[in-house]
Structure 1
Amino acid sequence: MSTSKKITKSRKTPGKIIRKITWQSFIYLLLISGAMIMLLPFFWMVSTSLKESWQVFSWPPKWIPDPIRWDNYITTFSSLPFGKWLVNTVIITFSTIIGTLLSCTLVAYGFARFRAPGRNALFILMLATMMLPGAVTMIPVFYLFKSLGWINTFLPLIVPSFFGNAFFIFLLRQFYMTIPTELEDSAKIDGLGTFGILWRIIIPLTLPALTTVAIFQFNGAWNDFMGPLIYLSKPDLYTLALGINFFKSQNNVEWNYLMTASVVTMLPSLIIFFIGQKYFIEGISLTGGLKG
């Protein structure tokens, strides 16, 4: 009886293997097709940045430029204050990353470890701020910064990051809740204080989560358009997003140069993501299903 079952099982095995291979092939084909569709606009942008101006709207479109105009990038940098816009964007972006990591780390650790009266109520109140649309607070915040004399400076774009971000605080707090308290108890026995524990134990253990926060903040600040549009009106203070929009609004815009500027603007986001991809995916997977 057992022999007959083994024979039946062995006969079914090739069919199951074929069905499994067919299904996996279908899934891979579907994913590759979706990836190609998603990459099509990016490929068009890169292709357009290397074309002559008269080739941009030619029909049928030429996906491979002929000739390839690498000098479009040189022309873009020389004809626009692109370097100044790039420096402004870098200053704002990395300042906000520093401010976000400092403030969110401290606040999230406090919510995760300190047993203070009203802690849960404050945490719920902080989460409730995420429900407020940005349009609701835009005008009051603008008048606040105007009364401080911060208009046409980078301060309105940088200083708020040093006061925390509700989503990032929630993300880090969920991560800290999974770290055993025994590690901190051992450190206290060895004489470490609160900041020593945070610096020597907690932060090294939470690098994936901190990297995730840094990547999110980088993308948000690097591509921010609304903030610079509201607070910056001097061309010398423009960021890349605002400068490219200013260039696009001009008459007789050269679309190949516009795509060149867009490619250069997008490259840092891709580079940062691929450099921190390992930590980013690990941080998302660890924080995605954590208990509160």
Structure 2
Amino acid sequence: MTLPRRTALYMLTVGLVVLFLSPFGWLLITAFKDPSELRALPIHWWPHQPSLDNFRQALTAWPFLGYLRNSLMIASTYAVLITLASAWAGYGFARLAAPGKKIIFGVLLSTMMMPHVLTLVPTYLLFGKINLLNSYMPWVLWGLCGAPYLIFLFRQFFANMPKELEEAAIVDGCGQISIFWRIFLPQSWPVIATSLILSFSWNWGDWITPALLLDDNHTTLAVRLARGYVDQNGQVLSNLVAAGTVMYILPVLVLFLIMQRGFVSGVATSGLK
């Protein structure tokens, strides 16, 4: 590649990075602004006196940490359970022989085309009849059922593992459960990292389901944060909203930074045949 083309490619890459990060940058700048600067004309692009007071007020205006605990409990439990359940189902589709396995796998993949919103009302009625509203059991049950996309990722990964590993384990007297837990699951760390990140972020950013199934005491940070911060006159305090939003997205960023190598590797290799 010639130098002019390489330079143009770098400039295009930097431009796209700036474009994608600009909303987060503006959110971060707003989180450090004084309320008077938000209403000032002309617009103040940079805070004159940056302060962490907005973050303190965002934490104390309502029980921020309590809702954060609810979100972490739901998202973490759901992510761990759905990862294990999807890994076990993917192992079955990849390594076990059963009549009609390909048909069942095709039906499973077809469910990914069903919009989530179609199941909201039936889900609410079902959990209402079995008295599971205002509890976290729905997320436990969803986690134990696995997810079609994650099952597909694990299935593709397990299908590529050498058959000699499985045969050697069988010779040593291992059953299918032991083979899964001792050999296949420890080797699938890239897909595990991908599954944990995706399932955690799905649940962390979900607003509709907690708003539908949980009351105000049990709801998540996403639902409570959507109501925003208002003053005594009912006006939205944009600086506190920005500060609360910055703290809201930090857990997902931290999780991604910890597992990013496994996530990239899992996405790159799980679709290979």
TM-score (norm 2): 0.95
**Backbone CA RMSD of aligned residues:** 1.4
* Residue of structure 2 in register with 1:241 after alignment: 222
> C-alpha separation between the residues in 1 aligned to 2:110 and 2:12?
39
> C-alpha separation between the residues in 2 aligned to 1:205 and 1:284?
15
Aligned-partner SS, 1:237 = coil
* Residue of structure 2 in register with 1:129 after alignment: 111
* Residue of structure 1 in register with 2:133 after alignment: 151
Q: CA deviation at 1:61?
A: 2.8
Tell me if 1:272 matches 2:255: yes
Larger displacement relative to structure 2 (250-259 or 83-92): 250-259
> C-alpha separation between the residues in 1 aligned to 2:102 and 2:86?
17
> C-alpha separation between the residues in 2 aligned to 1:199 and 1:59?
62
Aligned AA for 1:243? R
Identity of aligned pairs, percent?
Answer: 31
On the 8 A contact 1:46/1:260 being kept in 2, the answer is yes
Which residue among 62, 84, 87 is the counterpart of 1:80? 62
Q: CA deviation at 1:135?
A: 2.2
> C-alpha separation between the residues in 1 aligned to 2:268 and 2:196?
16
> C-alpha separation between the residues in 1 aligned to 2:42 and 2:261?
41
Which residue among 240, 261, 267 is the counterpart of 1:257? 240
- For residues 91-106 of structure 1, the aligned pairs below 5 Å read 91-106=73-88
On the 8 A contact 1:157/1:227 being kept in 2, the answer is no
Which residue among 188, 194, 198 is the counterpart of 1:212? 194
1:15-43, Cα deviation, whole Å (9 max, x unpaired): xxxx7111111001100011111111111
Unaligned runs of 5+ in 1: 1-18
- For residues 20-169 of structure 1, the aligned pairs below 5 Å read 20-169=2-151
On the 8 A contact 1:208/1:282 being kept in 2, the answer is yes
Q: CA deviation at 1:57?
A: 3.9
Aligned residues: 271
Rg comparison, structure with higher value = 1
Unaligned runs of 5+ in 2: none
> C-alpha separation between the residues in 2 aligned to 1:81 and 1:48?
22
TM-score (norm 1): 0.89
> C-alpha separation between the residues in 2 aligned to 1:33 and 1:54?
32
The ranges of structure 1 where at least 4 consecutive aligned residues each deviate by more than 4 angstroms after the TM superposition are none
On the 8 A contact 2:230/2:237 being kept in 1, the answer is no
On the 8 A contact 1:157/1:228 being kept in 2, the answer is no
Q: CA deviation at 1:249?
A: 7.8
Tell me if 1:286 matches 2:269: yes
Aligned AA for 2:146? G
Q: CA deviation at 1:248?
A: 5.2
> C-alpha separation between the residues in 1 aligned to 2:261 and 2:131?
42
